[in-house]
Structure 1
Amino acid sequence: MLFKDYHIPMIRSGSKTVTRREWDENYGRPNVGSVQIASDEMFTSDEEADCYIRILDVYDQPLGEMTDEDARKEGDYEDMDEFREGYAKVYGEDAWDPEKVVAVVEFEYVGRERPTEEEMVA
């Protein structure tokens, strides 16, 4: 999954465990349980990657239903005001619409190397 460069340290530290995406209905969503590369560059190979996440849940939510706790899970945001500022940096100043439904991806950091099949089952 593609992230901004400043998100990668947040993912590694565990302060970012959720991302919200403006995906259209034809976008291929990640499967729950799958391990994905988290990178700030498109088409990163396993050899180049050093940040992996396991997808815990994927669902839709209107932006207006977010709470301060949701904002904190998005990274180093104290509250919704800070999150809205960060959201505007990614999607543009006019992107925030409380009725806009976005994809919510909950994940956990699993390391700097892709887990083996045995590690994923354990």
Structure 2
Amino acid sequence: MILFKPEHVEPILSGRKTQTRRLGRKRWKVGSIHQCRLNYRVEPFAYVKVTAVRRERLGDITEEDAWKEGYPSVEAYREAFEQIYGFWNPDVDVWVVDFELAK
């Protein structure tokens, strides 16, 4: 299961959001399928298949990556990340999970 914010539902369902960055340990394997939910108590709004997983510095996000995250720019992504996690540190390591909608 992967939890998302409500503003991510439409970009995921439309195929515009195909990447997510997460703190913590690696929990995803390439080829695995995960439910996308808003919280643990609601039904999944989608299923995604993990296509790649890598670790990188948060500050290494590119404009193309921001677009894959569902945002128009790195600055817009940074603002969203700060709202979700409460900070932005370009030197912190994150897990980058690429995915596609599962059929």
Question: How high is the TM-score relative to the length of structure 1?
Answer: 0.77
More strand as a share of residues: 2
Task: Return the match for 1:90 from 80, 84, 88.
Answer: 84
Partner residue of 2:68 out of 53, 73, 81:
73
* Runs of at least 4 residues off by over 3 Å: none
The one of 28, 36, 53 aligned to 2:34: 36
CA RMSD of aligned residues (A): 1.4
- Report sequence identity in percent: 39
Deviations 1:66-119 (A, max 9, x none): 1111111001x1111111111111111xx21111110110000124xxxxxxxx
2: distance between equivalents of 1:66 and 1:19? 11
Query: Which of the residues 47, 52, 58 maps onto 1:52?
Result: 47
Distance 1:106 1:50 in 2: 18
Letter in 2 for 1:78: P
Partner of 1:6: 7
Unaligned runs of 5+ in 2: none
Cα distance in 2 for partners of 1:72, 1:50 equals: 21
Deviation at 1:43, TM superposition (A): 5.6
Structure 1 unmatched ranges of 5 or more: 112-122
2:9–2:45: 8 Å Cα contact kept in structure 1? no
Which structure's CA Rg is the greater one? 1
Q: How far apart are the structure 2 equivalents of 1:18 and 1:37?
A: 15
